[in-house]
Amino acid sequence: MQLALKALTLTALTFGLGAVLTGCTATYRDKAAEQAFPPIGQFVTVQGGAKVHYLQAGTGPDVVLIHGAGGNLRDFKFDLFDKLTDHYRVTAFDRPGLGYTDRFPGIDTGALATAGESPLQQATMLREAASQLGITRPVVVGHSMGGIVAYQWALMGLDTDSDVNAAGMVSLAGVAMPWPGDLGPYYTINASAFGGAVTIPLISAFVPTAKVEDVIEGTFAPQPAPDGYADYIGAPLALRPETFRANVRQVNTLRPHAVEMSKRYPDLTLPIEILHGTADTTVPIEIHSDKVAALVPSAHLTRMDGIGHMPHHVDPAAAVTAIDRAAARAGLR
């Protein structure tokens, strides 16, 4: 009995020391990430006291940029943002829980929680921020996970008369439709209570920088990531435990919302421009954009042969053209 108690005590001490080491390492890496990649924009406070981080520049009709999963507004500032400011007032947002934007007010953020912000909650929060910034009739542009938030922003215009209703929309390899099967163990484990308490702190504390760079390259494949992108984007911000939890929970809980949203897509009449690469394995074109184009008469799909999941970086001119076309179709230019 005494031997068993000693073994149990040693095991508990080992796990306890491991938890302390993991926590200290993750905290150190958190602070290092925020020092290396501080906010580059400003903040607006929405209902419930949540702060939304945004970057705004330029003059002209409003364009809103919404980034994808695991990202932040630096993705757009790397290239596309500055290509638009001569003709538009451009506002890029950090989505709720990512970058430097707070989580949706009232959502459970604990390590054992599993709730993620729905597209409706995200769009509600960003639309309120847009309203406070005086944004009117924007062209709403969403990449990847930001795409379904942009679709939700557009759908809200069917129910609400508001100055921030989208005048047009652009999807850059955007998520839109429900997909077959599940998302695999990365999301199902990390978005679980076990993942929130155990695997995420371990990944946050110990994943090597080289692995992060591999993930970035995989996102761009089959094209390479642009020179300097990995150093600019602030990928370590996504490894902060609270940000990591927000991201995987949003993705893991998304599918039921996509099911319900897709039922309303045929009601959309605003101009929608879609850019999507045929080699995109992250958000496959045949599951998402092909189906939206078939459902929505006002959707115009540009298929980009051989391009992967980052069309706005591989061909920024095509992204600018799509935004210009949406703005012109909406009567903004």
Instruction: Dump pLDDT digits (tens) for 94-118.
Output: 999 999 999 999 999 999 999 999 9
Q: Quick check: pTM over 0.85?
A: yes
Task: Flag residues of the chain having pLDDT under 50.
Answer: 1-21
Q: For the chain, what is the domain count?
A: 1
| 18 within some domain | no
| 281 within some domain | yes
| 28 within some domain | no
| 300 within some domain | yes
The CA distance from 298 to 214, in Å, is 38
| 15 within some domain | no
CB 273, CB 264: distance < 8 Å: no
Among the residues of 106-240, which ranges form H helices? 119-132, 145-156, 185-190, 193-194, 200-206, 209-220, 229-233
| DSSP per-residue codes, 305-325 | TT--S-HHHH-HHHHHHHHHH
Residue 226: per-residue pLDDT: 95
| 107 within some domain | yes
If you average pLDDT over every residue of the chain, what do you get? 92
* Domain, as residue range, for 86: 42-329
| 2 within some domain | no
Query: What CATH number has the domain bearing residue 76?
Result: 3.40.50.1820
